[in-house]
Amino acid sequence: MAFGWIDEQDRARHRAGLVRVLRPRDAASPLLDLASNDYLGLARHPEVVEGAVRAARTWGGGATGSRLVTGTTALHTDLERELADFCGFEAALVLSSGYTANLAAVTALAPHGSLVVSDAGNHASLIDGCRLARGTTQVVGHADPDAVRKALAGHDGPAVAVSDTVFSVDGDAAPLTGLAEACREHGAGLVVDDAHGLGVLGDGGRGAPRGAGLAGRDDVVATVTLSKSLGAQGGAVLGPARVIDHLVNAARTFIFDTGLAPAAAGAALAALTLLRREPERAARARAVAVELHGRLTAAGLDAVRPDAAVVSVRAPSPEGAVRWAADCRAAGLSVGCFRPPSVPDGVSRLRLTARGDLSGEQIERAVRVIGETRP
Ligand code: PMP
């Protein structure tokens, strides 16, 4: 029977406690939200919403075509200029998501005969970029510049190293300076995914590459998402103009995809305007993460020290993690729940977002609920 094989996979998933279900969100949810990626609390900010509404009124509900045909509006080019300038890069290219931005960057920069050196903790979108690329991928140990150096040393031809700047499971930061040094020694490019760094790390939230002094270098490319700290949707690749021009001509997820919806571009531009005016929002998100971690640890929970705004708490088992998250929810707190295959080490976790707009009382309440519901 067609698709009959799915049933066996489904049974195996049930046996392992790894079934995923969709749960629609209530627009007026009374839950305290520590599950979303809205790090700065901007998704519902009136100026961001107004940016989306104005863009939709002017340009319509969709971009109407791929970027190279009808899908480039003045909004798209304004957003590209603003992203490049804010993050300190020469040029930028906006795509429909962070996922397609990662596919674009890795595939276009890893031609036949090239080597891609990929951190073992990288996000699925970077992993998929490696799978789609024509070059050969070598996965190296997590956050290990020496392993990157060794992998690059044995290769003759074009090469790139790819890494998240902040890893999405544990919220730890990559050793960007060491990675850049290893790449430079071997004439390799460095591609970093700053999905969790933009808006949180770097001066005023200008991102991890700028914070590490790597933005604007001719051998460094960054990808970002507009869907986390900017509270919008979409993604971008930032880098030297020659790299961005190459992507326009070679990156299939750019060329064959409909341009970003105008409302999303308008929302992202409004969020960047806000962030320029209120740079303290980034530091506040980092401070909330430190406070959240301190309180969780004091309560005896196994929380990983955060480098940005993601705080990860280890759970005893996948089933335990699911039950823990459900019990938190029943007590009014929404938290993320990461299980295999989304975690590289098989350890399930609660994943908490240290939103910059959380009050001290809300942080205290969240920690109390997590402590009281622990399995
Ligand atoms: N990279 C990382 C590290 C992410 O966490 C995510 C989002 N989960 C993405 C890329 C994909 O971004 P988007 O959701 O905009 O497709």
DSSP string, 345-374: TS--EEEEE--TT--HHHHHHHHHHHHHH-
pLDDT digits (tens, 9 = 90+) for 8-38: 999 999 988 888 889 888 888 899 999 999 9
pLDDT of residue 26: 86
Domain boundary among 253, 277, 301: 277
Q: Same domain for 229 and 101?
A: yes
**Separation CA 93–CA 248 (nearest Å):** 8
pLDDT band of residue 344 (cuts 50, 70, 90) is confident
Q: Give the Cα-Cα-Cα angle 274, 281, 338 (nearest 5 degrees).
A: 110
Quote the pLDDT of residue 18: 82
- Tell which one of 37, 123, 169 to mutate to probe ligand 1, the residue whose CB is within 8 A of the most ligand atoms: 123
Percent over 70 (pLDDT), the chain: 100
Give yes or no: residues 248 and 219 share one domain: yes
State the average pLDDT for the chain: 96
| Ligand 1 atom with the shortest distance to the CA of 100 | 16
pLDDT greater than 90 at residue 346? no
Task: State how many domains the chain has.
Answer: 2
Q: Which atom of ligand 1 is nearest to the CA of 226?
A: 15
Question: Is residue 179 a part of any domain in this protein?
Answer: yes
Same domain, 225 and 126: yes
Judge if 82 and 207 occupy the same domain.
yes
- 40: in domain: yes
Instruction: Let me know whether 339 and 215 are in one domain.
Output: no
Tell me, what's the pLDDT at 280?
98
Residue 372 has pLDDT above 90, yes or no: yes
C-beta atoms surrounding 91 within 10 Å? 19
Q: Are residues 83 and 107 in the same domain?
A: yes
Confidence of residue 94 (pLDDT cuts 50, 70, 90): very high
Query: Which of the listed residues 245, 277, 309 is the one where a domain comes to its end?
Result: 277
CB-CB contact of 259 with 71 (8 Å)? yes
Block residue for tokens 């976790």: 349
Domain span at residue 334? 27-44+279-373
Q: What is the pLDDT of residues 238-269, one digit of tens each?
A: 999 999 999 999 999 999 999 999 999 999 99
Residue nearest to atom 4 of ligand 1 (CA): 195
Question: Is there a domain that residue 121 lies in?
Answer: yes
pLDDT single digits (tens) 200-244: 999 999 999 999 999 999 999 999 999 999 999 999 999 999 999
Cα–Cα distances in angstroms (integers) from residue 240 to residues 63, 92, 93, 168, 190, in the given order: 26, 8, 11, 26, 12
Give the mean pLDDT of 277-297. 98
The reply to whether 78 and 168 lie within a common domain is yes
Asked if residue 182 belongs to a domain, the reply is yes
Measure the CA–CA gap between 312 and 339, rounded to whole angstroms: 12
Is the residue at 214 inside a domain? yes
Instruction: Give the pLDDT score at 348.
Output: 93
Residues 308, 260: one domain?
no
Residue 332, pLDDT score: 97
In angstroms, rounded to a whole number, what is the distance separating the alpha carbons of residues 215 and 208?
9
Domain boundary (277, 297, 327) is at: 277
pLDDT of 279 over the 90 cut: yes
Residue 231 in any domain: the answer is yes
Closest atom of ligand 1 relative to the 99 alpha carbon:
16
pLDDT of residue 180: 98
- Ligand 1 mean position, distance from CA 220 (Å): 19
Class of residue 282 by CB neighbours under 10 A (exposed 0-12, middle 13-18, buried 19+): buried
**Measuring from atom 12 of ligand 1, which residue has the nearest CA?**
98
pLDDT at 27 (0 to 100):
85
